[in-house]
Chains A and B, each alone.
Chain A
């Protein structure tokens, strides 16, 4: 048998990218390598549109699978064994492989599916499957064929030089390799939604920076600690991250003292966007990302979103816009941010909440209220007060 464990990694959508295909594949292999950099003796190689990971036998396969399947752009991964592309050799390897499945999983029925990537190979796929199936039946007396509901479905992937055998496909997240789609600035609050929004954009290949607003001393330093920990979880998918941290309290105080109470939320929201755009421009981010979700709260009605958007030039990505809250929560649980998000420290959005926020703001009215404030001065001061926290992969 082989000295190393082999994993076949499939690239999904990357394969559709035509001319850019080599670039995407190369980036993906690079991302996989980076996720495995702490493991000695692991090789990551591209070959015929697939990525092959070979790891020393003594490394835990589960660990390798976990690290690889969380790389964006990976559609699935299969632990496999290999054989020379020769029907006798494949048959022997298949018998060994199935004996192991009998020992470890107690399988009793099986089915073989074959695929001939090398079309010059003289035997066609259904025939390959039949021949290998026959070898398994002879080699493993306890097994029977069941084409409908087999305990084990053995895949035979026959290629020019080597043939790969495997029986499971572990799904990855899909998406595109990180770094293939620009950089965005996410407004990260510490709630459930914004980490999911950041994750979803990162999944499409976008590098993420974050902007966090607090209202110290109206919010707890623990709230910021929580945001840093959340960012650490997101960073475990999309690499080290920078958080720009800004105290919004001076602006909130001005709004509370000068503007109509029911407009507080939307006014604060527009300041966040303006500050976001300035920070984004300065740090090379081409768009803003928010966790906003149509109709979830007063600042997220259609009217409010229109008024919010009107103050910035930059595109604002809202990947959660049409999702239901329960689906967002499911996603947060899947990526591991949910438990952290529901820790009960106040974030700055809950401070100065008006009793009856306006849900249908009109732009002219909001702009009239802003005329009571030194908008540019406040934004300048806020941007200047920025602190930067660097988050390592959590």
Chain B
């Protein structure tokens, strides 16, 4: 199997699985319990909090565990809207955010907020001029992702955060696709969303960084866990797994990923004509998005699947919907270009050797489709 759909989800690292089953077996206590079992469970959570904090360049007190990226995004967007309503009703985001952000903003729009979605160009670069012009005294929050999930484009989050802070505006970034791919320390955001399953950690785990001194109302009221930010008994094995996944990131660089990606890109450029590379040159090492003109991405996907090569068309979250990728649309791609788009997304487990296999199968699949299509 060659798994190139790591932006959808990743294979859980064996170390993570081993640790989680150990925690589930041995330290099954409730961290809130006063007895020894409670304490040992709490220690697991404390260790994980340090590990996640380190990966984000934060202090442990700034980390709140939750269930996923979507929860983190929603907590911040609805929370800031609620707590800063008296200051203004405008939220700035980008046109290429994950649905978790776009839909949370759309919901606020129905409640009377003004939502500005900053456009991007054909290489998924955000329009900074427009962005800076939109920052005004009515704006309460900016939410822009660190790395785009479909193209791998890296957004200038640090500069954007500085510009927002100059106007006393809070800044959130969804860094689900960025963790482990680009450094997050010093990125300057007030809130950072991350998720476990994109970094070989467990599904159903996530963390939210909340800058010290920033107030945010909780999404769920309840027993007061996570300093009252996220009530509900802690998912101790999941949290431990998330911490372990962050620890494992330390020993890895993105070089292997980048090498596999570059090898595949060059091979495609040599062997397959009529393509459009949708990922920017300076994008993250984890994503390569290419349109094979005159083909249908989904057919290529199923053809590759027959050889146990797994890729994706657009983002997994929208592949079931009839609509075309909103990200590629926002970049101005034509319907034909969008229809032929494939996303290859990499992890530390991919190798250059695998890319030779992918190249061969992919070239055959594209040729087969184009040959059939040429009869029409």
Contact = CB atoms under 8 A, between A and B. Distances in A.
Contacts of B376: 256, 261
A256 B322 CA distance: 26
A220 interface: yes
B322 A218 contact: no
A216 interface: yes
Interface stretch (B37-45, B164-172, B296-304): B296-304
A257 interface: yes
A22 interface: no
B322 to A, nearest CB: 6
B274 interface: no
A217 B299 contact: yes
Contacts of A218: 299, 302
Contacts of B322: 344
A221 interface: yes
B372 A257 contact: yes
A217 B303 contact: yes
Interface residues of A, dominant DSSP: loop
Contacts of A256: 372, 375-376
Interface string B352-376: 0000000000000000000010011
A217 B306 contact: yes
B132 interface: no
A253 B374 CA distance: 12
Contacts of B298: 220
A222 to B, nearest CB: 8
Interface string B255-299: 000000000000000000000000000000000000000000011
Contact of B305 (A217, A219, A344): A217
Contact of B302 (A216, A257, A344): A216
A253 B322 CA distance: 26
Interface residues of B, dominant DSSP: helix
B203 to A, nearest CB: 20
Interface in B310-347: 320, 322
B302 A221 contact: yes
B252 to A, nearest CB: 33
Contact of A217 (B302, B320, B375): B302
Nearest to A345: B320
B302 A220 contact: yes
A124 to B, nearest CB: 67
A225 B342 CA distance: 23
Nearest to A217: B302
A253 B306 CA distance: 18
Nearest to B296: A218
A334 B302 CA distance: 35
Interface in A198-230: 216-221
Nearest to A353: B376
B95 to A, nearest CB: 25
A219 B306 CA distance: 13
Contacts of B303: 217
Contacts of B375: 256-257, 261
Nearest to B302: A217
Nearest to A264: B376
Contacts of A217: 299, 301-303, 305-306
A75 to B, nearest CB: 42
A344 B319 CA distance: 11
Interface in A213-262: 216-221, 253, 256-257, 261
Contacts of A220: 298, 302
A257 B322 CA distance: 29
A253 B375 CA distance: 10
A253 B368 CA distance: 10
Contacts of A257: 372, 375
Nearest to B320: A344
Contact of A253 (B301, B305, B320, B372): B372
A91 B133 CA distance: 87
A220 B375 CA distance: 23
Nearest to B304: A217
A158 to B, nearest CB: 60
Nearest to B306: A217
Contacts of B301: 217
Contacts of A216: 302
Which residue among A218, A253, A261 has the maximum number of chain B CB atoms within 10 Å of its CB?
Answer: A218
Nearest to B371: A257
B362 to A, nearest CB: 13
B185 to A, nearest CB: 41
Interface string A326-356: 0000000000000000001000000000000
Which residue among B303, B322, B375 has the maximum number of chain A CB atoms within 10 Å of its CB?
Answer: B375
6 contacts: A216-B302, A217-B299, A217-B303, A217-B305, A220-B298, A344-B322
Given A253-B372, A256-B372, 9 more contacts: A216-B302, A217-B299, A218-B299, A220-B298, A220-B302, A221-B302, A257-B372, A261-B375, A344-B320
Interface of A: 216-221, 253, 256-257, 261, 344
Enumerate the 9 nearest inter-chain pairs by beta-carbon distance, A residue then B residue, closest first.
Answer: A217-B302, A217-B303, A256-B375, A218-B299, A257-B375, A344-B322, A217-B299, A256-B372, A216-B302
